[in-house]
Amino acid sequence: MSDLTMIVTPLRSGLIAKGHTTLDVLVQEQGPPAPLGLKVERPPLKLAIVLNRSGSMEGQPLAEAKRAAGAILERLTPLDRLALEPSIVQAVNKAGCKVQSIVPR
């Protein structure tokens, strides 16, 4: 049995009572902390991050997507490989991180 916790947070406080409606939610999964002194090594990752910047992603949804991308970047190791779209490279550089090398396809 796992100690996985799922946290579901609505992105707005209410719904329209009549008719069909959609509620956007933020879903977070949180696992148990690793035992003290346990070093878990994972294989290198190969990731690509692309952000949807359409009108539906304006405001809070886009801010959350950028925050999530930043959280991924903070956890990468030198062995991981990551592909970024150009607008993400600009956001990463503005956030104070520098892209060390960009290898063309």
Number of domains in the chain: 1
State pTM to two decimals.
0.49
Determine, yes or no, domain membership for 79: yes
**48 vs 40 pLDDT, higher one:** 48
Predicted confidence band of residue 77 (pLDDT cuts 50, 70, 90): confident
Instruction: Specify burial of residue 88 (Cβ count, 10 A radius: 0-12, 13-18, 19+).
Output: buried
**8 vs 3 pLDDT, higher one:** 8
Determine, yes or no, domain membership for 28: no
Mean pLDDT computed over every residue of the chain? 77
d(CA 65, CA 7): 17
What was the pLDDT predicted at 40?
A: 76
Asked whether the beta carbons of 40 and 17 are under 8 A apart, the reply is no
Determine, yes or no, domain membership for 65: yes
- Domain, as residue range, for 69: 42-94
d(CA 105, CA 10): 39
What was the pLDDT predicted at 92?
A: 61
